[in-house]
Structure 1
Amino acid sequence: MLEKPKLFLTAKEFWLTMALLSVLILVRLGFLYEEYSTFKIKPFYYTHVEVLKQYQKSKDNKNYTILRVHSSALNLDFFTRTYSQKNLLNKQVRLKLFPNESMKFFEYLGTSFINSRINRVEEKPLTFKFSLLAFIDRQHDDSIISSFYQAIFFATPLQKELREQVSKLGVSHLIALSGFHLAILSGVLFFLIRPFYGAVQQRYFPYRFDLIDIGLMVLAVLGVY
């Protein structure tokens, strides 16, 4: 009876691999800590951010808006607050950030809160991904359904109402699961590519295994995505 091949032949190989991975993790954390230290000591930053989520809150009879944003320049996701009532979703906003020196390192690694001031609001630059999101949005009259399909295929944040509904159903972990949208997208790409590639493969290079070739194509597309 054939035995399942072992990933590590000896305990020494296992511990050497673990040691190498630990060194890589520590080196990466070292670079991140240096970025964190530099970030929090500056009095302010100017950066463009994309607004991912927006919801209203009130305190002491004052209404304000909480924004979850992403800064590509700083490679940072964070929450901030504004008293503007404008709809900023899917907009590009130029912010003046005021880092807090008391911010902890693990808060920087996660999604922290940073005070800011809005300088100006701009239309998001037209990209291929944005065009696809707009295409999905045009296919549905219901914004909640549109939000669902955008989240499934492009991992965009869900609308608050939809997020509450899927949470009640107990399936929010499926939509929020990292990589779940990629699995769906890879399946769609596979079944779209296979008929066309299969015809070419049968005519010009029947000796090749189409599943492997298509799989590599899908991986290449997902890598670019």
Structure 2
Amino acid sequence: MDSLQLISTKKQLISFLLILLTIFSFNIFYEYFKYKDFTKEEVYLDTYEVLNIYEKEDFLVLKLQNEKLEFFTSIDKENSIKKLDLITIAVLSKGVSFYEFLKGFYTKSIFYENIERIDTLKKELFNHINSLHKEEKIQELFNALFLAIPISKENRQIYTDFGISHLIAISGFHLSIISFIIFILFYYPYSFFHERYFPYRNKKADVVLISIVILLYYLHLTNLVPSLLRSFIMFSLAFLYLRSNIKVFSFQSLAITLLIILSLFPKYLFSISLWFSIIGVFYIFLYIHYFKTLPKLFSIIFFNFWIFFVFNPIVHFFFPNTSYEQLLSPFFTLLFTFFYPLEIIVHLLGFADVLDKYILMFLNYKVSIYETDTSLYFFIIYVAISFFSIFSKKFFILLNILLIIFNVTMFF
């Protein structure tokens, strides 16, 4: 039997869009009320978690977040402050527009106090990971891979120069590995109760539901990282789709995911992380759409190269840094499919530092950088042709011609 589409009629589409528009309107007003509360006085005092620290010559730039807002500010270097500390700080709210409030902004601090080191679960996991590794670069790597804690600007540049930033940002692949581990851990214990008390239930579906609940907590633990949020919503929708015989891998499901995220979290409209995640999945679906008949073994290798090359014009519109080592990115991506689950296992078993020596050698490798920019004109044309490739093979052929031209110009 052919798979169904979630939205198959014009009436369903209009109803769905109206529901999302209502949710979006409610949430945008909610954000506006938070903005008015933030700006009603010239100085705003509250307590925040320190997400990241950027060290400057004479001061520290902090990325702060609580349940109300997220922003950047600066303090002096007198106090020893660490990631995930709680800091009570007063900042200037005057002059911050609603657009800046949604997008993310920088404002000056007036004073700060009460740098607290509260042992939350996230903080305990953070400290535990740090205790397993001696080098700061490696500590940051695994805190990013497991807890989505931002990497410092200096160390993040290493992954950008190698063209593997997408491997460090928790998204679909990471979620699939974590969900698989959760599924295995709960499947056999649940089987004991299933056979004795409710054999009439679908065992696999129940364990997937348990996995979704645990992943929801994990999503909360990581502060709703946009790329992980996208993956979680698509994972949850995929479960519902499969139960209802609705097509999972479709551009419609991707569009629905994006609209749901933006209706629930309007500020993510300005998240590059979210858009990169959406575009990445878009090109994966485009690959499946046109290359699904390729031999499997060849496709596994070709897929990683094609995704790397097709994404380059998008990435280099925002990040111009280029290196010849980036040509190794598809190989690193293939290796990462083994590296990530292996590191989860060795961390759970207490052998977390077994590969640290080799990881550090990689991170200390010096990359020669030059810049390649994607012009605005080319970017717009490229995105448009990518979109029309959904409907026309001619546009898809043109897309491949453009990506070849861009990448040849970029590396040769």
Alignment TM-score, normalising by the size of structure 2: 0.48
Kindly provide the amino acid, as one letter, of the partner of residue 26 in structure 1.
S
Counterparts of 1:116 and 1:178, CA distance in 2: 33
Aligned-pair identity (%): 29
- Residue 165 of structure 2 corresponds to residue 166 of structure 1: no
- Paired residue for 1:142? 135
Partner of 1:13: 12
SS at the partner of 1:112?
Answer: coil
CA displacement, residues 133-184 of structure 1 (integer Å, 9 cap, x when unaligned): 2222222222222222221222111133331111112121343355665444
Q: Could you say which residue in structure 1 is the equivalent of 2:145? A: 152
The AA in structure 2 aligned to 1:43 is E
1:116 — aligned with what? Answer: 109
**Bigger fraction of residues in helix:** 2
> Residue 27 of structure 2 aligns with which residue?
28
Amino acid at match of 1:147: E
Report matched runs for 1:39-78 at 5 Å. 39-58=38-57, 63-72=58-67, 75-78=68-71
Question: Which has the larger share of strand?
Answer: 1
**Which residue in 1 is equivalent to 2:260?**
none
**Structure 1 residue matching 2:150: 3-state secondary structure:** coil
Indicate the SS of the match to 2:6: coil
RMSD after superposition: 2.4
1:189 Cα offset (Å): 1.9
Q: Which amino acid aligns with 1:176?
A: A
CA distance in 1, matches of 2:132, 2:188: 25
Mapped contact 1:166–1:172 kept (Cα < 8 A): yes
Structure having greater relative contact order (Cα 8 Å, sep ≥ 6): 2
Residue aligned with 2:56, SS: strand
Runs of 4+ more than 6 Å apart: none
1:37 Cα deviation after fit: 2.4
When residues 184 and 152 of structure 1 are mapped into structure 2, their CA distance, relative to the original with a 3 A threshold, is farther
Q: Is the 8 A contact 1:95 1:116 kept in 2?
A: yes
Query: Would the alpha carbon gap of residues 87 and 129 (structure 1) be closer, same or farther in structure 2, given more than 3 Å must change?
Result: same
5+ long unaligned stretches in structure 1: none
Aligned partner of 2:122 in structure 1 is 129
Q: Does 1:196 align with 2:189?
A: yes
The whole-number CA distance in structure 1 between the counterparts of 2:143 and 2:207 is 24
Distance of aligned partners of 1:87 and 1:167 in 2 relative to their CA distance in 1, 3 Å threshold = farther
C-alpha separation in 2, matches of 1:191 and 1:43:
53
Counterpart residue type for residue 100 of structure 1: K
Q: TM-score, normalised by structure 1?
A: 0.83
Give the counterpart letter for 1:67 in structure 2.
Answer: L
Paired with 1:180 and 1:117, the residues of 2 have a C-alpha distance of 42
**Residues 170 and 39 from structure 1, CA distance in 2 versus in 1: closer, same or farther, beyond 3 angstroms?**
same
Q: Which deviates further from its counterpart, 181-190 or 131-140?
A: 181-190
| Distance in 2 separating the partners of 1:184 and 1:146 | 21
C-alpha spacing 1:164/1:48, structure 2 compared with 1 (3 Å): same
Gap regions ≥5 residues in structure 2:
219-412
How many Å separate the matches in 1 of 2:50 and 2:183? 32
* Count of residues in correspondence between the two structures: 217
